[in-house]
Amino acid sequence: MAQLNEKEGSIVARCRGCQGGLSTFVWKIDGKPIGAITDRIEDAHWRNCLIAYRLFQCGGCGMGALGVVKFGGDSAYPGEYNRLIQFFPESKQRSSLPNSVPDGIKKEFREAEKCLESDCFRAAAGLFRSVLDKSMRANGYNTRQEHNLYKQIEAAATDGVITQARKRRAHDEIRVLGNDVLHDDWHEIHANDVEAARHYCQRILEDLYDDRDSVLSLLREAGRKPEEDRKRGKGQS
């Protein structure tokens, strides 16, 4: 959560431009304020109370942001005392993914995280389900017998590439939630449910791609044709 430096007026927050890295957002460049709109407001407890809608810049990547800061006691920002009211856009800490996760799946996971950060919970739930679906297909679970995601998850657990416990989480936390978004009438999706979908989607990607050589051996023993083998077959033809 974004934190205001009470003395300097800068803000420490996770930056979307820095892929969720913690950064300091400054409100002055070369000693000059970037810009702000400041209004005086009434407050029974704060002397000379003002509220500033102030522009900030990430000290790392240069991305811009907007902070809403209440301050008082002194007309010059950041004042004698202050409080951060809002700050956006603010990133959350990004989930760690194995290096061998295919680029398209990784990008879809990151897009789902961005939707979650923006409180677009239904969009995020649908994308995490899509990540799971694409991961199953990339590992060879797209046969006629396993034409839907339910059967693909069941088959992956039978082959031993995910555990029985992970299978239950894939169904309950990711697939069912995503199906609610895609197939049911509109209803509110809660942040905690989508956070759970993100957590278990990340864990399943770890199961599949952290020790990739071992998983590939299991897939081949089970007669699966993972994406790596399909690409190799195309290259040889």
CATH 1.20.120 spans which residues of the chain? 103-232
* CA atoms within 13 Å, Cβ hemisphere of 178: 23
1.20.120, 1.10.150, 3.30.160, 3.90.930: which CATH number matches 103-232?
1.20.120
For the chain, what is the radius of gyration of the CA atoms? 24
Tokens representing 217 are 């051996």
Strand partners, 67: 54, 87
CA distance 110 to 192: 18
The residues, ordered by sequence, that sit 6+ positions from 102 with a Cβ below 8 Å of its Cβ are 138, 227
Tokens representing 68 are 């809403």
In Å, how far are 40, 56, 105, 116 from 93, measured between CA atoms?
35, 20, 19, 12
- pLDDT the model gives residue 234: 64
- pLDDT the model gives residue 231: 85
The residues, ordered by sequence, that sit 6+ positions from 121 with a Cβ below 8 Å of its Cβ are 115, 188, 189, 190, 191, 193, 194
- pLDDT the model gives residue 146: 83
Query: Going residue by residue through the chain (237 aa), what tens digit of pLDDT does each one get?
Result: 899 999 999 999 999 889 889 999 999 999 999 999 999 999 888 999 999 999 999 999 999 999 999 999 988 999 999 999 999 998 887 899 999 999 999 999 999 998 998 889 999 999 999 999 999 999 999 888 888 999 999 999 999 999 999 999 999 999 999 999 988 888 999 999 999 999 999 999 999 999 999 999 999 999 999 999 988 876 554
- pLDDT the model gives residue 180: 92
- pLDDT the model gives residue 143: 81
- pLDDT the model gives residue 237: 46
- pLDDT the model gives residue 196: 96
